[in-house]
Chains A and B, each alone.
Chain A
Amino acid sequence: MKKLAIAVIVLLGVYTITFFLTFMLPGDPARVSLGQHGSEEAVELIRAQWGLDKPRYVQYYSYLSNFIKGDFGKSFRYYPRDVIDLIRYRFPITAYYGIWSIIFAVIISIPLGIVAAYKQNSIIDNIAVLISQIGVSIPNFWLGMMLIAIVAVKLGWVNPVPEVPYNYYWTPVGFFTSLKDYALPIITVGTGMMAANTRLTRSSMLEVIREDYVTLARSKGLSERKVILKHALRNALIPVVTNVGLQFLLLVGGAVLTETVFGINGLGKLYIDAINYRDYPTVIALTLIYTGGVVIVNLIVDLLYARIDPRVSLR
């Protein structure tokens, strides 16, 4: 299928760009890991072990073939731990507050967007527009700082930094009881998403309400509630659902900032540390997994669109 071929090309491009941006750096990861006092022989030994002494194109090829086999290599920083283990360890942390922030965003944004569109230009609509405008514009790392200062320090309601034992939050009880500790990161990340989704729901709803089939549903004598919730909403939500899917991935990019503010040891922190310590395999692996996610979500969305809307044909 053509879309799949394009996806593969895109991933290859992503790999190439990341490889060149990271591996073409002249700084020596072996030197960085041993520090100034590491002896020349030791540095050489490590370079050989990590395959850094081989020509670039050999490295390019060997990494690529390993990735295709599903092997992401060993981290330079935490040698000899596998990169995939590092990611597997950090992923649940980011996923936990990520999922909750999406829940937070969806619970608020969809009803708000529907009501705003249904009562266009009313006070509620104006408030919704204002909230979403503020939510989109507020730098989320600053929001995080302000939440720490006000909610955690001044009011003392929660810890400024989440203090939950590792993986406790993924137990059935912990999933809800850890919420208090992660409330601030969740609100920080969720606000931007909430704002974007509110805008999207509102505009998509405004468009759908004017469609013929909604008028038809009304003229059939269906209750207003049924018209909105069953006929209009179902179609209006398609772009919103797409966006929510992509937001989960965007989260990782934003997580870099959020996790710095809250001192969370998640994927964002791993990314930044990997860049700072020249841990190339980790940088490349994280980028590939991330972009792989983007590509897959886009593919699924394309397929779903074709399902839902027969007018869209897959070429």
Chain B
Amino acid sequence: MEHEQYLALEKEKKAQTRKLYLTFAAIAVVLILIKMVFITRSAIPTWGVRLVAVGIYVAIWAIVIDQLYKRWKAITYPGELNPIQRFMMRLYRNKLATFGLFIVLFISVIAIFASEIAIYERRYNSDWKEYSMMPPSREHPFGTVSSGEDLFSLICYGSQISLVLGLSVEFVVVVIGITLGVISGYYGGWIDKLINYFTDVIMSFPFLILVIVLVGALRANPALNDQIVDFGKTVGMDSHLLMVFVALSVFGWPGVFRQVRGQVLSIKERDYIAAAKVVGASRSSILFRHTAINTLGPVIVVATLGIAGVILTEAGLSFLGFGADITTPSWGRLLSEGNSFVTQPKYLYLAVFPGLALFFTILGFTTLGDGVRDAIDPRLKL
């Protein structure tokens, strides 16, 4: 009898959760439509009003997500501490991590709403000479660059590049790292040895230089270069940034791989893996559901810190001229322009603002990563 009651309760919980998710999805669709129709450059031409609108819009999202979380909690964990809560409490206790989380959210909002927050549109200006290299003023809070574009707007657009590249590279890196790590750790043998030698080789390279050489190789190869440029055109992306993406993904995974492999080595000896085998779980289910999923905690930490690394490397590459095109507002590219005028105090703003944006973004991700690590397991060493 009790068992049936329990089953009924579970069933109801499931129905409630599904209803909650559906409602949320509906609200989300409506909100996204609102954004696409009402919060655009053409709908709100004045910058100040647009900024306020974006602020309100973000606040509405925050409220919606907060409500979703509260209802979910009431259904799934009535009256008890749930894992998310426990994690967040530990994270909030760490002031630096809270600060990091705040920065990361802030930069994400700027990246998502870049074209609304930016004061000016990105387009070729025929009278650019008139606007070239103007110091910070009311119209141009951060001044303008040599091509006459507004530096503040460029930094906003640049945040998209940094974040999208950071997230996408880290996603690929995590997928490769987990796959190889699970295979290597679980099966051992010659596969394990082979992959390990390969990571040893990659890790003994100076990373920046390895990436530079690969990007150089991709650029210099006419067949590959044309293909990537064509692909970039169809996607509407800077083809040289695509090469940076390829190079960083190809060589970025050893960190995640080592972490996962170490975890898998200890996980595979645990009792629940043996239990799963006894119950007759399939091999893929053991590898994926029982092993890979359980390595995710430390991987999230490595990935968060890795995003900071990717953003920094991209900036360095673009700074040296191996990254973004001259027309792409990557922070590293803006900094390289700043570097040519660094000895002239008049033009110092060119170097200060993109650098600050880069610095705070990296600071945000590293402090958040450290905080997450401490919140997951204070004894964890990474």
Identify which of A18, A133, A271 contacts B363 (C-beta below 8 A): A133
Whether A14 pairs with B208 at a CB distance below 8 angstroms is no
- With a cutoff of 8 Å between Cβ atoms, the chain B residues found around residue A149 in the complex are 342-343, 345, 348, 351
Chain B contact residues, majority secondary structure: helix
> Given the complex, which residues of B lie within 8 Å of A17, measured CB to CB?
201, 205
Over the window 128-158 of chain A, the binary record of Cβ atoms lying under 8 Å from chain B Cβ atoms (1 yes, 0 no) is: 0110011011110110011011001110000
B206 contacts A290, CB within 8 Å?
yes
Task: Give complex CA distance A10, B201 in Å.
Answer: 5
Indicate if A51 sits at the interface (CB-CB under 8 A): no
User: A260: CB under 8 A from chain B?
Assistant: yes
Task: Specify which chain A residues have a CB less than 8 angstroms from the CB of B216 in the assembled complex.
Answer: 25, 275
A250-274 near B? 1/0 per residue, CB < 8 Å: 1011101100110000000001100
* Complex Cα–Cα for A145 and B341 (A): 10
Is B319's CB under 8 angstroms from A141's CB? Answer: yes
Contact A18 B213 (CB under 8 A): yes
Please measure, in the bound complex, the distance between the C-alpha atom of A146 and the C-alpha atom of B354, giving whole angstroms.
Answer: 12
Please give, as numbers and ranges, the residues of chain B lying within 8 Å of A203 by CB-CB distance: 381
**A residues near B208, Cβ cutoff 8 Å:** 253-254, 256-257
A142–B205 touching, CB < 8 Å: no
Residue from B222, B320, B344, B359 within 8 A of A257 (CB atoms): B320
Given A26-B220, A257-B316: A139 in contact with B359 (beta carbons within 8 A): yes
**Residues from chain B with Cβ under 8 Å of A294 in the complex:** 204
Identify the closest chain B residue to A250 (Cβ). Answer: B206
User: B206 and A141: CB pair below 8 A?
Assistant: no
B205 contacts A271, C-beta separation under 8 Å: no
A154 nearest CB neighbor, chain B only: B345
Give min CB distance, A150 to chain B, whole Å: 9
User: Is residue A24 within 8 Å, beta carbon to beta carbon, of the partner chain?
Assistant: yes
Main secondary structure of the interface of A (DSSP, over half): helix
Are the CB atoms of A146 and B214 closer together than 8 Å? Answer: no
CA distance in complex: A153, B344 (Å): 8
| B200 is an interface residue with CB less than 8 A from chain A | yes
B366 at the interface (CB under 8 A from A): yes
The minimal Cβ–Cβ distance linking B335 to chain A, given in whole angstroms, is 6
The answer on a CB contact under 8 Å between B355 and A142 is yes
0 or 1 for each of B329-365: is its CB under 8 Å from A? (1 = yes): 0000001001100111100100110010011001100
The reply to whether the CB of B111 lies closer than 8 angstroms to some CB of chain A is no
- A13→B335 CA distance, assembly (Å): 35
Among residues of A, the one whose C-beta sits closest to the C-beta of B360 is A137
Q: Is A208 an interface residue (CB 8 A)?
A: no
Docked Cα-Cα span, A261 to B320, in Å, equals: 10
B229 on the interface (CB 8 Å rule)?
Answer: no
Q: In the complex, which residue of chain B has the Cβ closest to the Cβ of A272?
A: B320
Is A283 among interface residues, defined by CB-CB distance under 8 A? Answer: yes
**Does A42 make an interface contact (CB < 8 A)?**
no
Q: When chains A and B are docked, how far (Å) is the Cα of A250 from the Cα of B312?
A: 15
> When A139-B359, A142-B359 are in contact, do A260 and B343 touch as well, CB less than 8 Å?
no
Does B212 have its Cβ within 8 Å of any Cβ on chain A?
A: yes
Q: CA separation between A283 and B339, bound complex, in Å?
A: 26
Q: How far, in whole Å, are A252 and B207 apart by their CA atoms in the complex?
A: 10
Q: How far is the CB of A266 from chain B (nearest CB, A)?
A: 14
Bound CA–CA A229/B80 (angstroms): 47
Let me know if B206 and A139 touch, CB within 8 A: no
Residue of A whose beta carbon sits closest to that of B198: A13
B58 to chain A, nearest CB (A): 25
For B315, the chain A residues whose CB sits under 8 A away are 139
In chain B, what residue has the closest Cβ to A147?
A: B342
Which chain A positions have C-beta within 8 A of B205?
14, 17, 287, 290-291
Q: CB-CB < 8 A to A21: which residues of B?
A: 213-214, 217
Quote the shortest CB–CB distance from B379 to chain A (angstroms).
Answer: 9
Mark contacts of B227-259 with chain A using CB atoms, 8 A cut-off: 1 yes-contact digit, 0 otherwise: 000000000000000000000000000000000
Q: Are B339 and A139 in contact (CB under 8 A)?
A: no
Q: Is A190 an interface residue (CB 8 A)?
A: no
* A141 lies within 8 A of B316 (CB): yes
Asked if A295 contacts B222 (CB within 8 A), the reply is no
Can you name the residue of chain B whose Cβ is closest to the Cβ of A136?
B366
Return the chain A residue nearest B224 by Cβ.
A26
Once the chains are docked, how many angstroms separate the CA of A141 from the CA of B334? 13
Is A165 located at the chain interface by the 8 A CB criterion?
no
A to B CB contacts below 8 Å, 16 in the list:
A17-B205, A21-B217, A25-B216, A130-B96, A133-B363, A136-B366, A137-B363, A137-B366, A138-B363, A139-B312, A139-B359, A153-B342, A160-B343, A256-B209, A275-B212, A283-B213
